[in-house]
Structure 1
Amino acid sequence: MTATTRELTRGQQVVLGAAAAVMVAVGVVGAVGTYSNALEEFHREATAAGVVAAGEGLTLILALSMLGLTLLGQSAPAWVRVGLWLAPLAACGTGLALADTLTEAAVYGATPLGMSGAAEGLGLIARRVVIYTTGVDAEAQRRTANAVQQLAYHQAAAERHPDPDVQQASLRTAWKLARRVGVGDHVLGAALVEVQRGRITSGADTALAAMYSAAEAPAKPRKASAIDVLRERFATMNPQDAIRLAADALPDAPPAELATLLGTYGVAVDAVAVALTLGQQPPEYEVHRPDAAAHQQVSALEPVNLQGAVEEAAAILGPDAKAKQIAEHLERSRRLLVDEPYIRAALSRAAKKQPGEAPAKPMEGGYA
């Protein structure tokens, strides 16, 4: 995201300059007071100056270091941030150690806060000026990046870690980290305000346009057709009443035609319902059909015994037929299973059979 650069106005420069001057004055007074207290105890100017440099001076150095890093678009390391908290406490502790009485402890402990507070205030205002003019808050970016990195890790662990307990712990941690993303980021806050301002402006414009624009002319009522009017009337009628009304209008129409006609007006009925309502019976027809011709009959084979069947097959196949051929013919035609020895025996008996004698003629008179 590109940062938006701005410039301080004349009034802002004057106010910030005056505030910085007041802070410098307070810091100088606090440093002089601490120097005087240390000189009173040690009676050596170099030692008193070292006490001031080690306490308030260290705070000033850390504040200027953080300012320089902010100007470079970089976040301050942890020891700088921690030092800005510990240096004023160390200066106050030194003042308490120099005191001989409770009253001196209260004075000596509070005096270093003048220069320490001035150094902290000057560094804070300078950083805010840099953020305002450059649009880059390195400290907020550092905090957000750290929170996002931890959030990504815990989300991945909550989804794919093999240990269910670790998944639950990472899920809870991820929700806690989600609250820290963007906290203290003034650039992000300003961007969100701009987005919300645009939405509010758009909504207000829509509301005002709806309030002050001319009202639309009411649409002219559409003329209803006869079919629409009948549809509305039939929609409130009993279907049987609609059937009788249609039958009165078309007394010669068959039920199927009445059902089709009522369907065009939104009355869903069929021909059977129309006929039942009107008490009509469907026409009956008699169909006379001639008797169908008899199916072609297949003449049955004459009944014979096994000997006769063999002789019949031999007569059909010819004198040169073998016993095996006769057996196959009997199986096909008569569904008889006859072995070859029997066929040969039957043929032998048929060959030995003598033809029958002719009947004697009747005697013609006298005696023979």
Structure 2
Amino acid sequence: MVAFEQVSKRFAAGRSSNEVVALDNVDLVVPRGSVTGIIGRSGAGKSTLIRLVNGLERPTAGRVLVDGVDVAGLGEKDLRSVRRAIGMVFQHFNLLSSRTAFDNIALPLEIAGVDRQAIEKRVTPLLELVGLSDKRDRYPSELSGGQKQRVGIARALATEPKLLLSDEATSALDPETTRSILDLLRKINKELGLTVLLITHEMEVVKTIADHVAVIDGGRIVESGPTFDVFTGHTHATTRALLGGLAGMRLPEFLTKRMSSEPHDGSRTILRVIFKGENATEPMLARLGSDLGIEVNILAGAVDEIAGRPFGMLVVSLRADAAKIAEARQFLAEHGLASEVVGYVA
């Protein structure tokens, strides 16, 4: 649905002759019908990337294709036509305070010149879709944050777009409301076959809803692919740092304070073990003790779900020499479990 082909974007840096590189030679494909997440720290280039999709910014170099059309090459008239096929959901809702929920949703249809009867037929089922049929005549000041965002989502769907862009749509919401909005976006994706491209700095959002993910850092895509594969087989330092914010993925502080990078006499090896898919619930650590005679102590961990598939991480300490540790890791690998030595503790 969207393809970035060697896209770069530079901005002038104030009055100086220097330039700020917002995006640098980005190649990325957003599969049709997918929910694709773009994740990165503040200033990484996420917002610039999404603004290129609907033509709010033009690339300095490269092409941005939306449903096969090069957005950057369009004149203003053709760009308006493309924008009608792209819905946009904002972090701070951007509702007009003087208009009811119904009229906020109707706004893009009014701008497009749709008659009132047709607007009624379009907006009423949208209110039902987002669960706000009883709020149609309420003003934004009378709605909660989650309800405002639902109005924003319905408004984005009013012109029957093929693509929905979400710009930090849940950042201003509490965790429970965030979950309900993500459930709604997934429902829209499934029922309407709508491609969703969302940007966020929250790994929890990507973990919950995205089929595919791209990690952006310093204007470059440093890692991308199916969400489960990126989360469980990440190699880039930025991805590891972002994953550290997920519950169960970080090392406990009591451990990091005592841990050293080199072994010494009597130290225990700290091993991070990754459980993927069906192996996430298998008692493999117990078998290290029964089959190999290695003493295992569980220090931290969790079993969770990423993109609908089970995933677990356990941090364990092993009392064994280097040869036995190598044997243990080989045993785990033979049973489909990844592991890495993260340090040593006395």
Tell me the TM-score range normalised by the shorter chain. under 0.3
Q: Which has more radius of gyration? A: 1
Q: Which of the pair is proportionally richer in helix?
A: 1
Q: Which one has more relative contact order, counting CA pairs under 8 Å at least 6 apart? A: 2
- TM-score for both structures, normalised by structure 1: 0.23
Q: Which of the pair is proportionally richer in strand?
A: 2
- TM-score for both structures, normalised by structure 2: 0.24
